[in-house]
Chain A
């Protein structure tokens, strides 16, 4: 395990891992070695911060460690944009995966820091639940998942320009933002009437 990287959990909320969490951490640490960067035990569940390229290994290890600590179900895939985050952080985005042990109601969170140009291995070959979630992350954040069978937009139109959930995306959309800055006569309804009155 290496140095602390962009911890977003307040110090006072950190706690000691429980027994089964210790066992899971040990198993993952044995598999990943230096690629397991950090372990945070937050109030809700533990977070493993790993290198993005090792997520397939990690999910395999988590689902097959043993009967005691197996996490067979991928609950959620999402991403966070840390642009303008005040504290130091190693990269722009984190991708976040949540796993569930549905027999014992145990949860675990896996995170990986990546930059815009990086690709993340897709979990879709292992977990079907990753399919649409990864498409949504691609659509909203512009993060590409290598090995996804059908990585195209899911919420916005296919020809849309930009990725709306990024922090540098203008809330009213790129066209109207350009119009607002005067680079483009975008919202023609408004501008053309003004032009008419000036004439």
Chain B
């Protein structure tokens, strides 16, 4: 029996990244930032009837320094914004964010001067949960979506809309510049000839 055949029967070959993100996927520690009525649905989600712990999200970290996943739950006012940002910046990388409910995602019905119109103004959000408030199943679905995201991406994710927007904008700028340069050189060659 050769070494290779022994290996093929007894060893699994894979990338270390897959293993790491598989581990991360089933141990997302949530840090809830609850300010409004969505917090009640979140409590229900954590409690025994719906039980977010079934998905590996076992331990609620009320200290952001021991958390992987910030769940912004409820209306964020202008005066709360720096506090949410502080909580987010205290969390160690890699970290993810779920924006739960209409208020956190878009300001909801509070289309007024004092309310932040969606936390993705200042935090990269991975999953938005619509609803006013969302049912616990929707938060479970969001967690599963986030897990797929954690598993699927090799570099661990800050692909928020803001991030994508910056990238797309940079790409567009690059293409536009190239186009203008090509145009200029064509004009130059035309005038020379």
Contacts and interface: CB of A to CB of B under 8 A. Distances in A.
B112 A173 contact: yes
A157 B79 contact: yes
Contacts, number: 38
A150 interface: no
Contacts of A171: 111-113
Interface string B99-130: 00000000000011110011011000000000
Contacts of B165: 192-193, 196
B93 interface: no
Given A157-B78, A189-B118, A199-B176, A169 B113 contact: yes
Contact of A196 (B111, B121, B169): B169
Nearest to A162: B113
Contact of B161 (A157, A164, A187, A189): A189
Interface of B: 78-79, 111-114, 117-118, 120-121, 161, 165, 168-169, 172, 176
B110 to A, nearest CB: 10
Given A196-B169, A199-B176, A164 B114 contact: yes
Given A157-B78, A189-B161, A192-B169, A172 B118 contact: no
A156 B169 contact: no
Which among B118, B161, B165 has the highest number of chain A CB atoms within 10 Å?
A: B165
Given A196-B169, A196-B172, A189 B121 contact: yes
Nearest to B172: A199
3 closest Cβ pairs, A-B complex: A173-B113, A164-B113, A157-B79
A138 to B, nearest CB: 16
Nearest to A177: B113
Contacts of A164: 113-114
Nearest to A161: B113
Contacts of B121: 189
Interface string A162-199: 10100001111110100000000001010011001001
Contact of A156 (B79, B111, B168): B79
Nearest to B173: A199
Nearest to A187: B117
Contacts of B176: 199
